[in-house]
Amino acid sequence: MIDLEAVQSLRAVATQGSVSAAAATLGYTPSAVSQQVKRLERETGVALLERVGRGVVLTDAGSRLVVASTPILADLERLRADLQLAGSDDSVVGEIRIAAFSTVVRGLVTPVLADLGERHPGLRLPLRESEPWETIALVASGQRDLGIAHRWGGVALAMPDHLVATPLFTDVADVIVRRDHPLATREVLHPADLAEERWVATFEATICRQWLRRLFDGIPNAPRIVHESMEFHNHLELARAGLAVALVPRLGRGELGPDLVAIPTAEPASTRDVIAIHRRTQADSPALRVALDALVAHSTRFAA
């Protein structure tokens, strides 16, 4: 019998381009992915991967297996949706695995999970924190069922055709400075106003860092990033100490206190669209529907 979990690993290698990239997407080690593919080769009796230079590519048999397995995996997903039937008490059972970025976990997902836990005690909602690109890969590969991602300034976020995006709300990011900073009395800030400032930012590979760089397009040597941290709370503390300015989203930010000031940017405005993502084959899943509806309902307070 063909191991469908191993087939998913092979599909991940095909879509991600390497065993290591597939492992990162699936949350496994490269060794675990390799072992799954080898087990699949033993089960089928044919080679599915071949080494080319330092990497691997699918053989013709491997490609055929990936293509042929697509409708089978989709049928299994629809079957899982059919089993998530509402009971007599109108509760929904099943499991929806969620991937979401950190600030939306604090600002939106946590109250949604609490609400759904009360209304649907038979619904399991395991959560994993991930960056937007990783979230898309996790949902696309079937490792997560519902993703929440963000895209800054209207910049497109590439998604495979088999994914569906549902808009939730638009979040705003403000420049955070100390109240005694020379710019603290401004109503808005333009990138040119901030060209000489010392910044704290998230790591280079993050979408937030890329937006900060895009904010200063056309301005030489800006932004001048001197501190890096993945935690926006740390950004606020560095700004509070007068060591840097920061661009921090309002979502999940909490109170700034009396010694910090938040000022929006203009031309361009620093906004990010928050979206929910799921696979088209999940459209009939009652569990997916109640989770998505809860996210949309709770999002209205941010839209207001």
Say what percent of the chain tops pLDDT 70.
94
Residue 282 phi/psi, 5° resolution?
A: -95, 5
pTM: 0.74
Residue 54: what pLDDT?
Answer: 74
pLDDT digits (tens, 9 = 90+) for 40-50: 888 888 898 88
Please report whether residue 89 resides in a domain.
no
Mean pLDDT of 23-50: 85
Mean pLDDT of 3-28: 81
Residues 130 and 178 in one domain: no
Confidence of residue 124 (pLDDT cuts 50, 70, 90): very high
pLDDT beyond 50 at 88: no
Please report whether residue 246 resides in a domain.
yes
Residue 199 phi/psi, 5° resolution?
A: -115, 150
Residues 293 and 158 in one domain: yes
Residues 204 and 153 in one domain: no
Residues 176 and 246 in one domain: yes
Mean pLDDT of 108-127: 94
Please report whether residue 68 resides in a domain.
yes
Contact between residue 95 and residue 124 where contact means Cβ atoms under 8 Å apart: yes
Gap between the Cα atoms of 237 and 197, Å rounded: 16
Domain boundary among 44, 63, 83: 83
pLDDT beyond 80 at 97: yes
Range of weakest confidence among 79-88, 135-144, 182-191, 281-290: 79-88
pLDDT digits (tens, 9 = 90+) for 244-279: 999 999 998 989 999 999 999 999 999 999 999 999
Residue 90: what pLDDT?
Answer: 67
Domain range for 13 is 4-83
pLDDT beyond 50 at 86: no
Mean pLDDT of 1-28: 81
pLDDT beyond 60 at 34: yes
Say what percent of the chain tops pLDDT 90.
58
Residues 129 and 112 in one domain: yes
Please report whether residue 88 resides in a domain.
no
**Domain containing residue 222: CATH number:** 3.40.190.290
Gap between the Cα atoms of 68 and 5, Å rounded: 15
Residue, of 7 and 113, whose pLDDT is higher: 113
Residues 128 and 253 in one domain: no
| Domain total in the chain | 3
Gap between the Cα atoms of 69 and 61, Å rounded: 12
What is the average pLDDT value for the chain, to the nearest integer?
89
Range of weakest confidence among 11-15, 52-56, 91-95, 240-244: 52-56
Q: How far is CA 289 from CA 273, 276, 293, in A?
A: 21, 12, 6
Residue, of 64 and 76, whose pLDDT is higher: 64
Residues 290 and 160 in one domain: yes
